[in-house]
């Protein structure tokens, strides 16, 4: 049995795939099945997926690409990050390597009335190719991403979430029983502003999922409230608040 929480420490972005390995049709079917049980952040935003051979896209890595299409609605990008990170972690449990691939391009920009947003490249991998020591993964210092009280095994774990260009736009403020989560707008990047915004909103969804996995693992109950756009200043945009209670 695997636990998605444990996959936080195993997953990594795969950039090299062994071409001698390939996914079986059973494995592909299992992935299609798994896509159906992902838990979205928002129930009222339609998402659809297409799995295509990597050669049908501009992607140069992996055997297949999962193309993600979404309805355009408020928080739809955060929803994508939150939902698809569950797949990223689950695929690690199946020894399938993944890389979120923002720069990838497809010719099919619409599917069933939904717009193309992002792809994830994936392919079969060997267990030993996964992350061995997560503490060696490059991440920002805790003081940059987390202010206020720390929660053991949450504060020091959530920052291992993947993000575009490892930009880690998340900032957390924790006081009493309230965890506030912000997106920093001061992230430096080679991408044009619009592109960076798209990626960083997906990153924030990924981060919310990591936060929830870590809180549950530490036996916290929580209530999540997604923030209204107004509760923002220029440097940090509030994304969500969690009221947390130790069980």
Ligand X SMILES: Cc1cc2nc3c(=O)[nH]c(=O)nc-3n(C[C@H](O)[C@H](O)[C@H](O)COP(=O)(O)O)c2cc1C
Among 123, 162, 169, 205, contact with ligand X (rule: CB under 6 A): 162
163 binds ligand X (CB under 6 A): yes
8 binds ligand X (CB under 6 A): no
166 binds ligand X (CB under 6 A): yes
Nearer to ligand X, 100 or 220 (CB): 100
> What residues contact 143, with CB distance under 8 A and at least 6 apart?
none
- Quote the CA–CA distance of 58 and 77 in Å, as a whole number: 22
Question: 76-93 and 193-217 are packed helices; what angle lies between their axes, rounded to 10 degrees?
Answer: 60
* Positions 69 through 128 that interact with ligand X (CB under 6 A): 99-103
- Smallest CA-to-CA distance from 168 within 140, 137, 201, 129 is with 140
Nearer to ligand X, 200 or 244 (CB): 200
- Smallest CA-to-CA distance from 204 within 170, 227, 238 is with 170
Nearer to ligand X, 1 or 190 (CB): 190
- What is the closest distance, in whole angstroms, from the C-beta atom of residue 108 to ligand X in the complex? 18
Nearer to ligand X, 135 or 233 (CB): 135
Tokens of 5: 């929480």
- What is the closest distance, in whole angstroms, from the C-beta atom of residue 246 to ligand X in the complex? 29
62 binds ligand X (CB under 6 A): no
Exposure b/e, 188-209, CB count within 10 A at least 16 = b: eeebeeeebbbbbbbbbbbbbb
Segment interacting with ligand X, rule: CB under 6 A, options 151-159, 162-170, 175-183, 220-228: 162-170
- Quote the CA–CA distance of 134 and 140 in Å, as a whole number: 13
Among 45, 145, 164, 239, contact with ligand X (rule: CB under 6 A): 164
Residue 103 CB coordination number (10 Å): 13
- What is the closest distance, in whole angstroms, from the C-beta atom of residue 206 to ligand X in the complex? 6
Nearer to ligand X, 167 or 232 (CB): 167
- Quote the CA–CA distance of 4 and 236 in Å, as a whole number: 29
203 binds ligand X (CB under 6 A): yes
| Chain contacts with ligand X (rule: CB under 6 A) | 12-13, 15, 99-103, 137, 162-166, 199, 202-203, 206
């Amino acid at each position: 049995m695997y636990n998605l929480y444990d996959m936080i420490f195993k997953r990594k972005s795969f950039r090299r795939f062994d071409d001698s390995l390939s996914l079986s049709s059973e494995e592909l079917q299992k992935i299609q099945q798994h896509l159906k049980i992902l838990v979205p952040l928002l129930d009222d935003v339609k998402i659809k997926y297409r799995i295509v051979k990597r050669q049908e896209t501009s992607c140069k890595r992996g055997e297949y690409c999962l193309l993600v299409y979404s309805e355009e609605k408020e928080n739809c990008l955060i929803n994508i990050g939150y939902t698809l990170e569950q797949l990223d972690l689950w695929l690690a449990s199946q020894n399938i390597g993944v890389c979120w691939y923002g720069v990838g391009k497809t010719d099919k920009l619409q599917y069933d009335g939904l717009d193309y947003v992002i792809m994830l490249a994936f392919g079969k991998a060997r267990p030993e190719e996964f992350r061995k020591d997560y503490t060696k993964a490059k991440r920002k210092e805790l003081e940059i991403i987390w202010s206020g009280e720390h929660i053991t095994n949450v504060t020091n774990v959530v920052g291992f979430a993947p993000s575009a260009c490892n930009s880690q736009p998340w900032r957390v403020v924790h006081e009493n029983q309230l965890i506030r989560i912000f997106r920093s707008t001061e992230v430096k990047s080679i991408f044009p502003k619009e592109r960076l915004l798209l990626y960083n909103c997906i990153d924030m969804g990924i981060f919310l999922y990591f936060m929830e996995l870590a809180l549950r693992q530490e036996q916290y109950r929580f209530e999540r409230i997604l923030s209204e756009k107004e509760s923002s200043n220029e440097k940090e945009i509030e994304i969500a608040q969690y009221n947390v209670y130790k069980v």
